[in-house]
Structure 1
Amino acid sequence: MSLPADFLIAVRQLIPAQRLFDDPLSTLAFGTDASFYRLIPQLVVRVEAEDEVVALLQLATRFDVPVTFRAAGTSLSGQALSDSVLIVLGDQWNGREILDGGERIRLQPGVIGANANAALAPLQRKIGPDPASINAAKIGGILANNSSGMCCGTAQNSYHTLAGLRLVLADGSVLDTEDTVSVAAFRHSHAALLEQLAELGRQTRADTALAERIRHKYRLKNTTGLSLNALVDFDEPLEILSHLMVGSEGTLGFISSVTYHTVPEHPHKATALLVFPDVETCCRAVPVLKRQPVAAVELLDRRSLRSVQNMQGMPAWVRELSVNACALLVETRAASPSLLDEQIGQILHALADFPREKQVDFSTDPQVCNQLWRIRKDTFPAVGAVRPVGTTVIIEDVTFPVEALAEGVNRLLELFDRHGYTEAIIFGHALEGNLHFVFTQGFDDPAQVARYEAFMGDVAQLVAVEFGGALKAEHGTGRNMAPFVELEWGADAYALMWQIKRLLDPTGILNPDVVLSENPRIHLQNLKPLPAADAIVDKCIECGFCEPVCPSNGLTLTPRQRIVIWRDIQAKKRAGIDTRELEQAYQQQGIDSCAATGLCAQRCPVGINTGDLVRQLRTGQARQVGRADWLAGHFATALKGARLTLTAAGTARRLLGTPRLQRLSRSAQRLSGGRLPQWTPAMPQAVKWVDIPASMASDKPRVVYLPACVSRVMGPAAGSGEQMSLFDKTRALLAKAGFEVILPAGLDDLCCGQPFASKGYPEQAERKRGELLAALMQASEQGRYPVYCDTSPCTLRLLQGEPDTRLQLHDPVRFIREHLLDRLEFQPVDTPVAVHVTCSTQHLGEADALLAIARRCSTQVVVPEGIHCCGFAGDKGFTLPQLNSHALRTLKSAVGSCEQGVSTSRTCEIGLSSHSGIDYQGLVYLVDRVTRARTPAV
């Protein structure tokens, strides 16, 4: 059914056009969350204020239009989808306020969970919920799904750590439980509603059998259905209402703010892996551990261990475990090292009588701990990476009573075999009896759907009926388990949930068919296709973990959405459907606006670099092969041309003045369709380049210095307080540290190939890269001397594709930490310094080292939250400046207190300077400023 015309007219008067999406590409892109369902919304609305939500809900009620709220879309059970109106959070929902010295924190729903914890970290506090998706999931979704996690258990979830709530009901009314004026007004305007909630509570508590069933269910981890425990835990109707909102998955109202009681984040921790000979022994150890001072206990069956045993970096002993082995990954945390040691001794003593096949003793070494946790965290992606193309990965989570955990595991294993899910694995949060099981499933033919239906029916009977457990422990009911809520809870509790739903959402407009549905087959409908598109991205499970680090997120498409659209294009082509209109839209939204930096691969559970797909598509579209060949063969001439262009721009600035030139440049850039670069005050001046031969003094250590092509062309901006070029500054710093500098021969003809690769000319890119590597081998005397490249992206480019291992390639960060720290004395400044960790620095694994060096230079290092990639992307900052400005839209407010910014990429620094209000320079400028040559020991 199409949306009412009057509703659409009213919405367009309320919301600016740029925040309304109804075109086929956008609605398809938003029609996907992390689940295995797909619904295409008719309208997507990006909201930026509570008033907009209020007005939208009033309109939806008036015109009987269903709406669904979405935060990050990492939900696994289909609760963030709509075939009507999808309301998504914009940028303006990121507020947070630390209260009572960190004992509480007030958060808007758009705050990413990990960012909330980052704000609390200096106070050694954190929010209670700790879902695996915490680096992507937003507070609105964490609360609405009552997400938990590895350490959270039941005591520290959103329900039990809720301190206050601000919400919008279906009728558009607003309640802030922490505001006495709001509470008083709501008590007056909604007296009847509050009395009905109070009466439901009285009736529920009076029904002894029902009340005890509810209490039993919530002793377990349980997110099946609505939070009926609110009716037995509280008699105050406002408390009932606010706690009903937890886990309601957007079916009862919109959460515009939440205040949490925080929990301690102990700084000292130790991790061990205990491998038992069989499931029974392993599970018998769990109740013993539950009485010990443990923060997390993760169970891994032999199948899950087998799924990761051949991964690079996995210890050899994992492959040697017996067929029935079952492991517990145990972590304990404490406020002090002595207390930690005491806890470790207590835990080991409690388990002394349990036989173990293998044991990795408790370790506080971060490297050991990370390797052990990697065994646990890689199980899910391991299944995803080997699944057949076209199938999806399903991760379910159930709860068994802890005392029945061993039998529950074995019965689940029997179901896997009975239904042919031989690849399925089990792992989970053992302390709560919470098991995740992961399997692959195709939905492209009726037989596969029937197999899934039969399997889930058996799972429901096993968990909910035979064991009295929970069909959803922490992933939310969604569409996935809506048909089984009555089976798990019973007719009386199910009817009570419907009473609550109809009381708070009388017209049924809020997220219909989620949590509660009258359609017994809703879990088998609107199943998401995952058609083959390209080997680079076919393993994508559309989880959305990649989205927070993508610079085009909120401007055009995210990596997940790029893959969704490309999959659809390929499927339509195979079906003979005309895709020209969709491909035309995808050109700008998906291809041209992609920074292709590959940060998405670092967040992706299966390591997909969507930038690789985009570069491949650009290669297919590349039509200037002759021009690329000429540039590759005449690179020195091209650099001279670039210097002349910058010189001309500098002359124009002096003649016209900065404001006029900026206006003219902006107009020219727009009229040329992005072909002409946009000039800004941060535009560099031309470097006056001359080859400088090395003196080769024999008594000094030598380094081959590779100034990147941008360093040979782009000097400081005219308005910069530092007018020495990066090339000269680097040579000065190396000389201060006592190094003799060697430059590769024919330097101005050399290039790493990155400009060609990013434009879709891989052949020319590899030719230039090969030439440069050969020149560096010669200059370094076959790897005898280290090579220092002053730009991180070029270093990364050279390291790709297995270069000669004799070549010691260093970016600025690595060279400084390995070769300069011992040769320089640091005298840190007290002024705040902003640090931008470039995408390439992250790929090189030098992010922590960069921050450590910065902290040697300044006592106040600022790393702006949420800026993972600057979006300059080589030259896109010139040709597609809106990508750069969008990626850095929050930078200026984040670095307002800083006097200087540092990075390791000259082009990134142009964009950073333009959008921050401060001057960004290479890291060597800061290091040179605060150091002097170390005095030799006498």
Structure 2
Amino acid sequence: MSALIEALRRRLPAGRVITDELRRLAYGTDGSFYRLIPEVVAVVDDEDEVRDVVGLARQFRRPVTFRAAGTSLCGQAVTDGVLVLLGEGLASCRIAADGATVEVGPAIVGAEVNRRLAPLGRKIGPDPASINAAKIGGIAANNSSGMCCGTAQNSYNTLAAIRVLFADGSLLDTGDEASVAEFRDSRAALLERLAALAAEVRADTELAARIRSKYKIKNTTGYSLNALVDFDDPVDILAHLMIGSEGTLGFISLVTYRTVPEYAHKASALVFFPDMESACRAVAGLKAGPVDAVELLDRASLRAVADKPGMPPLLLTLADGATALLIETRAPSAPGLGERVAAVLAELANHPLLEPPAFTTDPAEIDRLWHVRKGTFPAVGAVRKPGTTVIIEDVAVAVPDLAACCLDLQRLFAKHGYHEAIIFGHALEGNVHFVFTQDFGIESEVARYAAFMDEVCALLVEKYDGSLKAEHGTGRNMAPFVELEWGARAYALMKEIKRLFDPEDLLNPGVVINDDARAHLRHLKPMPAAGALYAPVDRCIECGFCEPQCPSHGLTLSPRQRIVGWRELARREAAGEDAGELGRDYLYMGLDTCATCGLCATACPVGIETGALTRAVRGEKLSTVARKLGQVAANHFGATQALARTALKAGHVAESVVGTQLLARLTGGAWKAGMPRPQPPGRVSARAGAGDKVVYFPTCAGRIFGADTPEAALSATVIRVLERAGYAPVVPEGVDALCCGQSFVSKGMAEDADRKSAELEAVLRRASEDGRHPIVLDASACSLRMKTFLAERLPVYDLVEFAHDALLPRLMLAKKAGPVLIHLNCSARRMGFEDKLTKLARACADEVTLPAQVKCCGFGGDRGFVVPELNAHALRKLHAEVPAGCCGGYSSNQTCEIGLTAATGLPYRSIVHLLDECSTEAARLAAC
């Protein structure tokens, strides 16, 4: 293997050939309950690199698996050979002028494609629940569908063209006539055999009829045999065989989709039925009507979310057996939507209901209803026992069989002791998911799972002729059962197709085609308890939904990967094993480069904030000296700030001597271009004046980092704008000794952090007269810290929040010329201030850009100074979104603004500076 690794290092940059134990473990984990540890991970950025890596693997006779986002639920994205990880160079997106088609690379996230299509009123057809994390390569390779796309709008049926690289290095781009012509010549034998297979299948009328019948419902079990009956041209057959092939036939390097409409007008209703049969009969009636989604939820799934905030009260009182349908209809216009709602209500009137259905068009209410559906899977995962995993299975039957099938599944749950199991799913397509928890660490439990799956598969095939995998792909999980579902003749076809494209069994072996009857019981992922420091970590289902939010993902580890690594360290400690290289690497990859921004929790199905784990581990690992230094800093905070100002002043002196670039190199990137000058102490004050009283607490960073002139300092600007809006700001006494605790909590010094927060609370309580007056903080990270700590004991507002709610109505603004760039930092994002920040900026400028692909900037308080590569990595996509002619940007966290300034070369300041610029006396006169 070392020879292969050396060969890979000669072909790829060293940083993209990953061999360390920690990251191989991390990438040996996908969203499934399987684990295989790759021998090497190769990160590829273009087609040529893929060809060369596959060629080297072929030369050294090692298997290859392609990995996009790793949200796969059936073990498609793991291997013990060469794992080819798709890099950002393969994340292309080209939209046709009318939006009718979109050409996308395999590494772009599905939701990002839809975001770019949205202004044209279009989207891609596939809509898996994982679309915010799943990438196009996985969506196409698994023929993923979802709640609305059904069978008509999946990748198979919306494919316009595909570009594929094969195991032997040959290439086909079905959207390029020259490529097709060359392929017809070079791979004539392959195409001739595909044409012959299609002819043989059509001649076998019984088999052809069976194939057509199987694809009337969702089906991702095995290869897409419908290609053999749907198309005559072998190039078209080949293209559609690639959809759902799970990386076993070739590498999909480009997909062109025919897009579908995304209607702006929507209405949803949660409708309750007395029993499963009544609900499923309604589904049959609704299928012919104007509905876009019908989601079924059994009583157990409703019970699992009944106590969640915002859930309908009826969930608490429903009788056993009650079932709900979540129905959505969409239209291009409001009148059209009304007509569709009326038609759905007319159909529902034919069925017994527990209460009259009520459709809503309010987006917030629609989101609340869909949280009922989306919360079911994580609700089971969140309450499982530590050490167990949560399994989601995925089947489909004809809609008339849906009720009987669900009742049969419930009987099997009871028989095998899966009493926590729930059923929900896409009823309109006869596609349901069932979720249960499983312990794979006990042999008897594995045997129970095996017996249960045998009975489930026999039931689905023998009684209902259903799909054992409707939309999640075959994977390792269902590969042993493909022949059971399809029969010997069809399975033989699939095996021949695999041999035609991959005769050496190089690509993802054991996935889709696997003759080992117990393959689904091998390589089961251990889930050791690891929540001693932070209990929620044991709820992690390793789905990967968190990864697009994380600033360190792709640099070191994502939140999922941090938890994977921590679980292994916990296992080793419990077993008395040495942490070894993995433990040493975790210090940097797991701890030092975690921004602790908390954005992972906003995407996590079970609400885990991996940053909280990082803070807990940092606290545990603090040395006695570091802990005492932290206590000294907390006890003498004024002196600590004075030292920071002195260091900052010395830095500017050094910069004037050696230059910015050299100083940045000498400090390992800690010194930034455009670093603010220190603010002299004691400059924060507000004159007594008339107006509505508001308490203003200037936070630490704003007191340390100054501006070119005292008038331009953050605190002076905040006070000026507050006064201009008719407020009388009050600055508490002794602010230089005060801190909200955020700078301590991020280092794991929880006790010191809470002590500083409590000190600040006492001061703010006095200044606000026990909460009589609002309290405003000028840094979003500090606002979030105090909001969390105070738990509404005092009326604390972030500056963005207060400016939007209270200042905008009072200020007269004159819009400035030129585009304005804004950054929604992680704390403001967690507080839900995107709309408020955007509206503030739009009140001051006609053209406002909020870069969509930048989440947390990665500065993480002081991380941008300590590990500047994290800040640089987090902002790597920012440059492409800076509008031409932009002179600067605005945010609401001063350290974030330092990193943003250094990354772009544009001055970033607090949003209050923009309000100040646009609400001067001249602006007031202009506005009048």
**Smaller-chain TM-score bracket:** over 0.9
Answer yes or no: is 1:412 the counterpart of 2:380.
Answer: no
> Which residue number corresponds to residue 639 of structure 2?
637
Name the SS for the 2:88 alignment partner: coil
> Which residue number corresponds to residue 750 of structure 2?
762
| CA displacement 1:605-660 (0-9 Å, x = unmatched) | 1111111111111111112222222211211122122222222222333344xxx3
Name the SS for the 2:561 alignment partner: helix
> For 1:146-185, what aligned pairs fall within 5 Å after superposition?
146-185=143-182
Name the SS for the 2:557 alignment partner: coil
| CA displacement 1:574-595 (0-9 Å, x = unmatched) | 2222223321111111111111
> Which residue number corresponds to residue 700 of structure 2?
709
2-side partners of 1:409 and 1:829: how far apart? 61
Aligned residues of 1:824 and 1:932 also touching (Cα < 8 A) = no
Answer yes or no: is 1:57 the counterpart of 2:54.
Answer: yes
Aligned residues of 1:682 and 1:911 also touching (Cα < 8 A) = no
2-side partners of 1:802 and 1:381: how far apart? 29
TM-score (norm. length: structure 2): 0.97
CA RMSD of superposed structures (Å):
1.7
Choose the corresponding residue for 2:821, options 823, 830, 834: 834
Query: Structure 1 residue 783: deviation in Å?
Result: 1.0
Q: Which runs of 5+ in 1 are unaligned?
A: 671-676
Aligned residues of 1:272 and 1:359 also touching (Cα < 8 A) = no
Aligned residues of 2:99 and 2:117 also touching (Cα < 8 A) = yes
2-side partners of 1:661 and 1:927: how far apart? 31
Aligned residues of 2:825 and 2:891 also touching (Cα < 8 A) = yes
> Which residue number corresponds to residue 672 of structure 2?
680
Query: Structure 1 residue 119: deviation in Å?
Result: 0.1
Answer yes or no: is 1:878 the counterpart of 2:865.
Answer: yes
> Which residue number corresponds to residue 587 of structure 1?
587
Name the SS for the 2:536 alignment partner: coil
Query: Structure 1 residue 22: deviation in Å?
Result: 1.7
1-side partners of 2:818 and 2:494: how far apart? 57
Name the SS for the 1:480 alignment partner: helix
Query: Structure 1 residue 759: deviation in Å?
Result: 1.4
> Which residue number corresponds to residue 673 of structure 1?
none
Query: Structure 1 residue 887: deviation in Å?
Result: 0.9
Structure 1 residues 209, 926: closer, same or farther in 2, change over 3 A?
A: same
2-side partners of 1:139 and 1:784: how far apart? 53
Structure 1 residues 728, 691: closer, same or farther in 2, change over 3 A?
A: closer
> Which residue number corresponds to residue 674 of structure 1?
none
> Which residue number corresponds to residue 787 of structure 2?
799
Query: Structure 1 residue 896: deviation in Å?
Result: 4.7
How many corresponding residue pairs?
920
Query: Structure 1 residue 937: deviation in Å?
Result: 13
One-letter amino acid matched to 1:704: V
Answer yes or no: is 1:215 the counterpart of 2:206.
Answer: no
Bigger shift: residues 852-861 or 409-418: 852-861
2-side partners of 1:577 and 1:781: how far apart? 57
1-side partners of 2:621 and 2:567: how far apart? 18
> Which residue number corresponds to residue 609 of structure 1?
609
Name the SS for the 2:818 alignment partner: strand
Choose the corresponding residue for 1:814, options 776, 801, 821: 801
Choose the corresponding residue for 2:65, options 68, 84, 101: 68
| CA displacement 1:544-589 (0-9 Å, x = unmatched) | 1111111111111111111111111111222222223321111111
Query: Structure 1 residue 61: deviation in Å?
Result: 2.7
> Which residue number corresponds to residue 661 of structure 2?
662
Aligned residues of 1:549 and 1:866 also touching (Cα < 8 A) = no
Name the SS for the 1:574 alignment partner: helix
Structure 1 residues 343, 68: closer, same or farther in 2, change over 3 A?
A: same
1-side partners of 2:410 and 2:876: how far apart? 50
Name the SS for the 1:645 alignment partner: helix
Aligned residues of 2:654 and 2:663 also touching (Cα < 8 A) = no
> For 1:269-308, what aligned pairs fall within 5 Å after superposition?
269-308=266-305
Aligned residues of 1:36 and 1:394 also touching (Cα < 8 A) = yes
> For 1:332-343, what aligned pairs fall within 5 Å after superposition?
332-343=329-340
1-side partners of 2:426 and 2:217: how far apart? 12
> Which residue number corresponds to residue 899 of structure 2?
911
> Which residue number corresponds to residue 130 of structure 2?
133
Name the SS for the 2:232 alignment partner: coil
1-side partners of 2:163 and 2:816: how far apart? 43
Structure 1 residues 817, 865: closer, same or farther in 2, change over 3 A?
A: closer
1-side partners of 2:391 and 2:490: how far apart? 28
Structure 1 residues 764, 7: closer, same or farther in 2, change over 3 A?
A: closer
Query: Structure 1 residue 598: deviation in Å?
Result: 1.1
Structure 1 residues 937, 103: closer, same or farther in 2, change over 3 A?
A: closer
Structure 1 residues 483, 803: closer, same or farther in 2, change over 3 A?
A: closer
Query: Structure 1 residue 723: deviation in Å?
Result: 7.7
Aligned residues of 2:595 and 2:859 also touching (Cα < 8 A) = yes
Aligned residues of 2:467 and 2:485 also touching (Cα < 8 A) = yes
> Which residue number corresponds to residue 539 of structure 2?
539
Structure 1 residues 53, 936: closer, same or farther in 2, change over 3 A?
A: closer
Choose the corresponding residue for 2:887, options 875, 878, 899: 899
Answer yes or no: is 1:557 the counterpart of 2:548.
Answer: no
1-side partners of 2:792 and 2:263: how far apart? 45
Answer yes or no: is 1:246 the counterpart of 2:243.
Answer: yes
> For 1:91-490, what aligned pairs fall within 5 Å after superposition?
91-490=88-487
Report percent identity of matched pairs. 53
| CA displacement 1:510-549 (0-9 Å, x = unmatched) | 0000011121111000000000011230111100111111
> Which residue number corresponds to residue 569 of structure 2?
569
2-side partners of 1:379 and 1:233: how far apart? 37
> Which residue number corresponds to residue 491 of structure 1?
488
Bigger shift: residues 64-73 or 16-25: 16-25
Bigger shift: residues 6-15 or 307-316: 6-15
| CA displacement 1:459-495 (0-9 Å, x = unmatched) | 1011122101100010000000001100100100000
Name the SS for the 1:297 alignment partner: strand
Structure 1 residues 176, 328: closer, same or farther in 2, change over 3 A?
A: same
Query: Structure 1 residue 145: deviation in Å?
Result: 0.4
| CA displacement 1:646-686 (0-9 Å, x = unmatched) | 22222333344xxx34313422x34xxxxxx7212221111
Bigger shift: residues 862-871 or 768-777: 862-871
2-side partners of 1:93 and 1:880: how far apart? 27
1-side partners of 2:329 and 2:93: how far apart? 29
Aligned residues of 1:701 and 1:739 also touching (Cα < 8 A) = yes
Aligned residues of 1:536 and 1:612 also touching (Cα < 8 A) = no
| CA displacement 1:420-439 (0-9 Å, x = unmatched) | 10000000000000000000
| CA displacement 1:748-798 (0-9 Å, x = unmatched) | 111001111111211111111111111111111111111111110000111
Query: Structure 1 residue 23: deviation in Å?
Result: 2.0
One-letter amino acid matched to 1:777: R
Query: Structure 1 residue 886: deviation in Å?
Result: 0.9
| CA displacement 1:791-844 (0-9 Å, x = unmatched) | 100001111134452x21111121012111210233334522222111101221
> For 1:71-86, what aligned pairs fall within 5 Å after superposition?
71-86=68-83
